[in-house]
């Protein structure tokens, strides 16, 4: 792990170039830059060129053979694209603040229909990732980051980057660490999966995604507060740590799931918990396609396949089909969608489904759901 503590030094702190073209970027791009700066997207230290994009879409690998399922592309306007040439240095800025100094490696264009079909398996504008890509346009730049800054991140006081987690895991003596990604408040099924991971590993790294969400997803502060209460009330404090992952979801299903696993590997996790429809949206991907895609690749992290958890009235506990022999009439199934609908109606979920402390955290916010950004 010590060797990895040097990752953040690969991209030094920002230095601008007053004579360089300045290209404005959105928060999604600024967050990608920050994750590259701190090694969360290692080995990437910039935005992909056309050859790399093709390799990732075609082979699920970088040109050097490393497994990688999700392209990371810098899209810009035709106006800015037309002003730069290969070899130029450019400033990236967000809301007038410097984000990065980068060198243009290649200018290229995307066939948006083919790109979306390759990445998302659809070019339908109903898919939020497709909408974002199409809205950003076909003009792309491959960029090598020279220096970068950290944008104003929410929850900065509890945010850990790879240099922080690696140091923390080592200080705690954790040899094995399970990463858990979420964009929901925790229900009892999530809790059971986390407890399963705690029985397998020395530590648990709860890493909720904060950033752009689709309509109906929980607000970031609701997710963070509900997990704070769960950890404080029910988990051993010396075996669980939480930090938000600043990341903008693209809902690319299996492809994006592989990226999520790689990010947790870079944080120092040895295991990654993956359940149904990870990184999916709607019915675009099968419920276990993400798990199958990750297990087929050499991602450098062990995938913990998470079975559906339900409450069995006969067993009197939370179980899965692996350890319960009772019929469907004894099973109380639940899902994030069902719980969201219940909360929207003002109904208090059964305690077999959600801890009362978690519900009270959610209910303390007048409207716990986002209107949607994508």
pLDDT, tens only, 249-292: 999 999 999 999 999 999 999 999 998 889 999 999 999 999 99
Give the pLDDT mean for 121-140. 97
More reliable by pLDDT, 213 or 340: 340
Measured between alpha carbons, how far is 165 from 258 in angstroms, rounded to an integer? Answer: 20
| Residues 81-97: tens digit of each pLDDT | 999 999 999 999 999 99
pLDDT band at 341, cuts 50/70/90? confident
pLDDT attached to residue 2: 36
Place of tokens 């309509």: 215
**Integer angstrom CA distances of residue 106 from 33, 44, 72, 103, 271:** 18, 16, 14, 9, 36
Helix (H, G, I), strand (E, B) or coil at 20: coil
Give the pLDDT mean for 46-51. 98
pLDDT exceeds cutoff 90 at 186: yes
**Pairing relationship of beta strands 21-24 and 89-94 according to DSSP bridges:** parallel
Average pLDDT along the chain = 92
Written as six digits, the tokens of 326 are 């009772």
Place of tokens 């693209």: 250
pLDDT band at 77, cuts 50/70/90? very high
Measured between alpha carbons, how far is 176 from 155 in angstroms, rounded to an integer? Answer: 26
Q: What are the counts of helices (DSSP H) followed by strands (DSSP E) for the chain?
A: 12, 15
pLDDT band at 212, cuts 50/70/90? confident
Lowest mean pLDDT among 79-83, 204-208, 228-232, 304-308: 304-308
pLDDT attached to residue 11: 80
**Exposed/middle/buried for residue 346 (C-beta within 10 Å: 0-12, 13-18, 19+):** exposed
Give the pLDDT mean for 111-118. 98
pLDDT band at 72, cuts 50/70/90? very high
Written as six digits, the tokens of 261 are 């696993």
| Residues 320-329: tens digit of each pLDDT | 999 999 999 9
Q: In the 8-state DSSP scheme, what is residue 61?
A: B
Place of tokens 């109606």: 345
pLDDT attached to residue 370: 75
pLDDT attached to residue 373: 55
Closest CA to 371 of 212, 245, 249: 212
Facing residues of 106 across strands?
A: 142
Residue 5 φ then ψ, to 5°: -65, -15
pLDDT above 90: percentage of residues in the chain: 82
- Asked if the bond preceding 43 is cis, omega within 30° of 0, the reply is yes
Written as six digits, the tokens of 316 are 């009197």
Measured between alpha carbons, how far is 17 from 25 in angstroms, rounded to an integer? Answer: 17
If you compute the radius of gyration of the chain from its CA atoms, what whole number of angstroms results?
Answer: 21
Cβ-contact 244, 222 below 8 angstroms: no
Domains detected in the chain: 2-148 (3.10.400.10), 156-363 (3.40.50.620)
Written as six digits, the tokens of 242 are 């939480």
pLDDT attached to residue 4: 37
Buried b (16+ CB within 10 A) or exposed e, 257-281: bbbbbbbbbbbbbbbbbbbebbbbb
Cβ-contact 73, 104 below 8 angstroms: no
Written as six digits, the tokens of 287 are 């419920």
pLDDT attached to residue 15: 67
Measured between alpha carbons, how far is 204 from 200 in angstroms, rounded to an integer? Answer: 10
pLDDT attached to residue 222: 96
pLDDT above 70: percentage of residues in the chain: 95
Facing residues of 274 across strands?
A: 305
Give this prediction's pTM: 0.92
pLDDT band at 372, cuts 50/70/90? low
Closest CA to 264 of 182, 185, 152: 182
pLDDT exceeds cutoff 70 at 10: no
Give the pLDDT mean for 305-334. 93
pLDDT exceeds cutoff 70 at 71: yes
């Amino acid at each position: 792990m010590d060797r990895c503590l040097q990752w953040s030094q690969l991209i030094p702190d920002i230095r601008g170039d007053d004579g360089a073209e300045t290209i404005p970027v959105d928060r999604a791009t600024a967050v990608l830059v920050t994750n590259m700066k701190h090694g969360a997207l290692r080995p990437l230290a910039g935005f992909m060129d056309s050859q790399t994009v093709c390799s990732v879409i075609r082979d699920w690998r970088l040109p050097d053979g490393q497994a990688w399922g999700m392209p990371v592309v810098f899209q810009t306007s035709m106006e800015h694209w037309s002003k730069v040439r290969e070899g130029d240095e450019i400033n990236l800025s967000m809301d007038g603040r410097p984000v990065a100094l980068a060198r243009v490696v290649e200018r290229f264009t995307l066939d948006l229909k083919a790109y979306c079909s390759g990445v998302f398996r659809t070019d339908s504008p109903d898919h939020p990732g497709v909408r974002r890509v199409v809205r950003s346009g076909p003009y792309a730049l491959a960029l090598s980051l020279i220096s970068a800054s950290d944008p104003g991140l929410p929850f900065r006081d509890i945010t850990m980057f790879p240099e922080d987690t690696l140091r923390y895991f080592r200080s705690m003596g954790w040899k094995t660490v399970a990463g858990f990604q979420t964009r929901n408040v925790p229900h009892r099924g999530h809790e059971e999966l986390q407890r399963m991971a705690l029985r397998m590993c020395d530590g648990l790294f709860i890493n909720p995604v904060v950033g752009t969400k689709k309509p109906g997803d929980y607000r970031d502060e609701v997710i963070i507060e509900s997990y704070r209460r769960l950890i404080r009330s029910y988990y051993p404090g010396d075996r669980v740590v939480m930090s938000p992952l600043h990341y903008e979801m693209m809902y690319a299903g299996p492809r994006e799931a592989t990226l999520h696993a790689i990010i947790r590997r870079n944080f120092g996790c040895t295991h990654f918990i993956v359940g149904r429809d990870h990184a999916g949206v709607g019915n675009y991907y099968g419920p276990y396609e993400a798990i199958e895609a990750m297990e087929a690749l050499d991602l450098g992290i062990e995938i913990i396949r998470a079975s559906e958890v339900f409450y069995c009235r006969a067993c009197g506990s939370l179980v899965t089909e692996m350890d319960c022999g009772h019929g469907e009439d004894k099973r109380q199934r639940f899902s994030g969608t069902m719980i969201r609908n219940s909360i929207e109606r003002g109904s208090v979920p059964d305690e077999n489904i959600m801890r009362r402390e978690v519900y009270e955290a959610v209910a303390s916010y007048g409207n716990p759901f986002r209107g949607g950004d994508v």
